[in-house]
């Protein structure tokens, strides 16, 4: 990969990124210095968002329009027939996911669908959460209107790059009082920091793989390079979305993982979607799953896992896996990765839980607090360090193994993906099997 070619690609997308952030900043400045009535704020939000959608999508506008119309009508129907026993939140959720899959089946142009998929995915997630939130919270239901609906779904802060955010958070940003909007040096520094890290990640994604890992004689180094390239591409989009969210006025305090250095991350970036250090230097795959896309983790936990959990934990986990897979479309290699990730996370969680009980050591998948009183062997003791280091190495191996088949924009067939895993001797799957045996032995 030519470095200048990479810079050229970055230069091509920079005008659109700049326009997106500039428009979001203008909307925040308007809210700060020329606050308008709430319905005008929704009109401005939806208008700018629709303009951005029209500018970035080569085709597929009809898919978005039909989704907006159908979801709005279903939501209005749920308000009209709220006394009946029909669970419209379930109906809307199933309809939205099936609509996403149907659009992918109908669309013959793979390139056009690749551009439309992310936009529709975010819109579908918003529709699902909106259905549940307006049913559970009367205040959100009262705030719902055609303008607030369009303003939320088409919000310029996240209609293109994401991340998902709830209807309540959107309304909070729109209704903030003038005195609560702080536009200062930190505000612009956070936007700039996110942009610099984002562009650095896309350059790192292309250049590092080509110069250090490509064609390496040891297959695991090459696999790690491919996986690292995929991860940095994800960081690029994540930090870009953080920049747009900050520029619009969102804060990331509600979207950070538990027991994480939230104050430091929010101080640096303003809004937290991803935590790369926790992925590149992982404690566990469970932790990686949480911090890979924190808003999406919250969405799946709140609107899928907790909703289905009364039917049983296993059922809730299975449905969460299915919804997560379907939201990403008919990407069978990603389905295989998510299934393998879930399998190993389950094995790792149970092994470490049992080891923590046997040795009374701080070796759980989630880091113990500094003053942990549950375990006799603290995290600074040799035994804890040894066990945690072993799982750290296993986690790095698993990340290389799983990310190895995800390189490329449009991917390749599941057969090709399995051939890649075969070249790595199906290591993670064998490790999961050995882990299960070890778990039952101890």
pLDDT digits (tens, 9 = 90+) for 132-160: 999 999 999 999 999 999 999 999 999 99
Q: What is the pLDDT of residue 211?
A: 57
Calculate ∠ Cα 29-257-369, nearest 5°.
130
Q: Per-residue pLDDT tens for 313-340?
A: 889 989 999 999 999 988 888 889 999 9
pTM above 0.75, yes or no: yes
Per the prediction, the chain carries an average pLDDT of 87
What does the pLDDT average to over 9-38?
82
Closest CA to 234 of 282, 341, 326, 162: 162
Q: What is the dihedral of CA 36, 39, 40, 44, to 10 degrees?
A: 130
Tell whether the model's pLDDT for residue 4 goes beyond 50. no
For the chain, give the percent of residues with pLDDT over 90: 63
Phi, psi for residue 250 in degrees, rounded to 5: -75, 150
Please check whether residue 116 is in contact with residue 107, taking contact to mean a CB–CB distance below 8 angstroms: yes
User: What is the predicted pLDDT for the residue at 48?
Assistant: 96
- Distance between CA 114 and CA 51 in Å, rounded? 19
- For residues 194-206, give the mean pLDDT: 89
61 catalytic? Reply is no
SS3 199: helix
**What pLDDT was estimated at residue 7?**
47
Catalytic residue among 216, 328, 375, 429: 328
What is the torsional sign of CA 65, 69, 70, 72? positive
- Highest average pLDDT, of 80-94, 171-185, 200-214, comes from 80-94
pLDDT for res 266: 80
**CA angle, 161 then 163 then 168, to 5°:** 135
DSSP 179: G
| pLDDT score for 9 | 54
Please compute, for residue 435, the number of CA atoms within 13 A of its CA located in the half-sphere on the CB side: 23
Q: What is the pLDDT of residue 216?
A: 61
Share of the chain above pLDDT 70, in %: 89
């Amino acid at each position: 990969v030519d470095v200048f070619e990479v810079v050229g690609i970055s230069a091509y997308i920079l005008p659109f990124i700049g326009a997106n952030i500039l428009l979001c900043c203008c909307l925040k400045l308007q809210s700060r210095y020329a606050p308008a009535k709430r319905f005008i704020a929704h009109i401005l939000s939806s208008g700018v968002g629709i303009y951005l959608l029209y500018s970035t999508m080569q085709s597929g506008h009809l898919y978005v329009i039909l989704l907006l119309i159908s979801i709005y009508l279903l939501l209005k129907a749920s308000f009209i027939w709220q006394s009946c026993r029909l669970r419209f939140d379930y109906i809307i959720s199933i309809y939205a996911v099936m609509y996403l899959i149907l659009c992918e089946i109908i669309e013959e142009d793979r390139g056009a669908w690749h551009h439309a998929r992310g936009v529709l995915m975010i819109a579908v997630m918003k529709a699902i959460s909106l259905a549940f939130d307006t049913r559970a919270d009367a205040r959100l239901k009262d705030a719902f209107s055609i303008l607030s609906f369009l303003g939320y779904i088409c919000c310029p802060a996240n209609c293109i790059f994401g991340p998902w955010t709830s209807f309540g958070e959107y309304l909070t940003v729109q209704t903030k009082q003038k005195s609560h909007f702080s536009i200062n040096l930190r505000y612009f520094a956070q936007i700039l920091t996110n942009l610099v890290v984002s562009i650095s990640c896309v350059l790192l994604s292309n250049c590092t793989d080509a110069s250090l890992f490509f064609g390496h004689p040891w297959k695991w180094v090459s696999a790690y390079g491919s996986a690292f390239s995929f991860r940095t591409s994800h960081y690029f989009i994540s930090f870009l979305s953080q920049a747009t969210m900050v520029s619009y006025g969102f804060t990331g305090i509600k979207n950070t993982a538990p027991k994480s250095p939230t104050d430091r991350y929010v101080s640096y970036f303003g809004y937290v979607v991803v935590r790369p250090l926790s992925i590149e230097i992982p404690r566990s795959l469970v932790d990686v799953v949480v911090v890979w896309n924190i808003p999406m983790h919250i969405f799946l936990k709140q609107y899928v896992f907790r909703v289905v959990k009364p039917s049983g934990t296993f059922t809730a986990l299975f449905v969460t896996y299915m919804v997560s897979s379907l939201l990403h479309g008919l990407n069978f290699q990603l389905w295989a990765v998510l299934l393998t990730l879930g399998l190993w996370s389950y094995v790792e969680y149970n092994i470490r839980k049992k080891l923590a009980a046997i040795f009374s050591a701080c070796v759980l998948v989630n880091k113990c607090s500094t003053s942990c009183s549950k375990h006799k062997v603290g995290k600074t003791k040799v035994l804890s360090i040894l066990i945690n280091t072993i799982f750290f190495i296993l986690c790095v191996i698993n990340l290389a193994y799983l990310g190895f088949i995800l390189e490329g924009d449009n991917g390749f067939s599941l057969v090709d993906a399995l051939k890649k895993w075969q070249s790595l001797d199906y290591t993670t799957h064998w490790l999961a099997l050995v882990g299960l045996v070890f778990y039952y032995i101890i």
